[in-house]
Amino acid sequence: MSAADPRHWGQVPVFDPQSGQVVVEPTGSGKGYWVGAPGVYYDVESATFYLTYRVRRPRGVEPDRGAEIHIARSSDGIQFEEIWVGRKEELNTTSIERCVIARSDSGAWRLYVSYVDPEDARWRTDVTEANAPDAFKLADCRPVLTPAQLGVEGVKDPFLFRVGGMLHMIVSFATADQSASHDELHGTHDAYNTGLIRSRTGLATSVDGQTWNWEGEIFGPSESGWDCYCARIGSVWRQDGLWIGYYDGSADVSENYEERVGLVCGSDLHSLKRMTPDGPLMIQPNASGALRYFDVVALEDRTLIYYETAREDGSHDLRVFVAPAV
């Protein structure tokens, strides 16, 4: 259908992933050298973009896995300058994954952090506060959502937004797919990479950003499709009276870390439907085809789409594609 069709609502940007502009380069060449998992916050008061992203290296290359989380600042959403770095040693963790920065009503800055709990080896999500976006201390993190609290095997990768003043947080959470011991699930400090779980999308809500109410699953893996192992929504936005979202999908554990992008749509967050049952929405021809961790900032004059994607050598970089306003 044409983009001008007056009865085709909820059309989303579909583009060549190679055409996006590289925002951050990986630290090395080859599989396991990944930058990405972007979380983007646009501060209306200062007209400034704040970007969080994870830096990862292969296992065995110190500091390996998700060793660092960075915060960068930009006036145009394309060219960023780094202003802060947090390292996994500050949390005594084996890995940090997607984080997100936001400003509270009081003016304080908050960083929501997902990382592997050093006590039980399960992914969890915490928050830390600071008076400036370059002043966070990871050692001050306190729990927001934990696996023990939710009765799941991991909870991570927050995406934050407001609806009518109420804070909403979309997260990835893992549930056991078969009977398995704690060591089988968490011995490697990454249950998502065992093949023993299913990766789902859940929702939590909060009035103050500190205490969160778990509303449960809002989107899950398909029964037998290209996304039957992982269905992780990375971002949502409002368009034509609908909720639209990009999600990461994979068929089995062999595609963990190398997910591809799908599309969801619904009239509310509890009735999201997959719009891509037969295959990914967009194709990245490089290496594994990884195209994941989308974050969308829809402004009045343009839409900025951030994502992590595979390069020819198997590494991942972080890119932005600028599309027309939605």
Residue 16 lies in a domain: no
Q: Which amino acid is at 53?
A: Y
pLDDT at res. 4: 73
The tens digit of pLDDT for each residue in 242-286 reads 999 999 999 999 999 999 999 999 999 999 999 999 999 999 999
pLDDT mean over 79-107:
97
User: Could you give the CA distance from residue 17 to residue 20 in angstroms, rounded to a whole number?
Assistant: 6
Residue 76 sits in a domain whose CATH number is 2.115.10.20
pLDDT mean over 50-54:
98
Does residue 2 carry a pLDDT above 90? no
User: Could you give the CA distance from residue 239 to residue 127 in angstroms, rounded to a whole number?
Assistant: 29
Kindly report the backbone phi and psi dihedral angles of residue 105, in degrees, each rounded to the nearest multiple of 5, phi listed first.
Answer: -60, -30
> Which residue is associated with the tokens 């992203």?
53
pLDDT mean over 300-317:
97
Does residue 123 carry a pLDDT above 80? yes
Residue 10 lies in a domain: no
Residue 120 lies in a domain: yes
**Per the structure, how many domains does the chain have?**
1
**3-class DSSP assignment, residue 304:** strand
Range of the domain at 207: 33-323
Residue 38 lies in a domain: yes
Residue 26 lies in a domain: no
The tens digit of pLDDT for each residue in 182-209 reads 999 999 999 999 999 999 999 999 999 9
Which helix (H) or strand (E) segment holds residue 24: the answer is: strand 21-24
Residue 229 lies in a domain: yes
Residue 56 lies in a domain: yes
Residue 103 lies in a domain: yes
pLDDT at res. 254: 97
**Residue 113, strand partner residues:** 99, 126
Which distant-in-sequence residues (6+ apart) come within 8 Å of 311 by Cβ?
26, 286, 287, 317
